[in-house]
Structure 1
Amino acid sequence: MTTARDIMTADVQCVRSTDPVIAAAELMTDLNIGALPICGADDSLEGMLTDRDIVVRVVAERKDPLVLPVGELAEGTPVTVDADDDVRKVVSVMSQHQIRRLPVLEAGKLVGIIAQADIAVELGHAETGNTVEAVSIDY
């Protein structure tokens, strides 16, 4: 059985909920990524921040990214999977919640992240296509 741990990117960095949005944007640029987990002071996962969040919820609303804390952009409870969950569950969760990046937890702590590209590498063409379609459908 292939698990989330087998396909996740383990070297995941967080942005702190108290960090200004500009720090998150700079980290995304440095790492060449489009999303970062938002972690609290106790390293608990508080949410996910995407480059789209920064554009739509900060720039377009004319908020100041130099002072706006990242934590103000975290909404609701983050959708996650456990490191030992089967890859089929990962696909199901991504499809059900229409998300492209999925944090992976172990004992409640962030240990990795899975992106659509990780699914594409692991699964065949047909299932990858089905996953991308399910995540992308606009209801």
Structure 2
Amino acid sequence: MRKYLWSIMVAFLLVGCSSTGENKFSASYVKAHVIPKQTTKAQVQAIYGVPDDQSADSGGEVRWEYKVGGNLSTAASLASYIPGAGAVSSALGMASTASDATDSASKASAKMSGNTEYRSDFLVITFGSDGIVDRWHM
């Protein structure tokens, strides 16, 4: 029972931290913070953290992909492999599910209020060989 309560507390803490502030996956937020030919890899990482996936081509372009709740899902699956970390894995899984529910509720609320701001569940940022943002898409 004690582990269960601890798991719930961690889940609420993680969801609370992840749901504050602006929606980082809205077009207006990305336009204001990820500026082609200006924003660096370090600045993107400071905003979005470590990418959920990344690739590079032979021309030196680097592509970073971010998914809504991607880091929580990854952490939950990794924690499940650590002996004795079942409660942490469970809490992270609950936080990921709660984050998804928050996103769905936010989209439903925007739809009801007539807010047409574009939001996405993913963001792809492409950097040139100089480490500066070349382009992005959602």
TM-score interval w.r.t. the shorter chain? under 0.3
TM-score in terms of structure 1 length: 0.27
Larger Rg over CA atoms = 2
More relative contact order, 1 or 2 (CA 8 Å, 6+ apart):
2
TM-score in terms of structure 2 length: 0.27
The answer to which structure has the higher strand fraction is 1
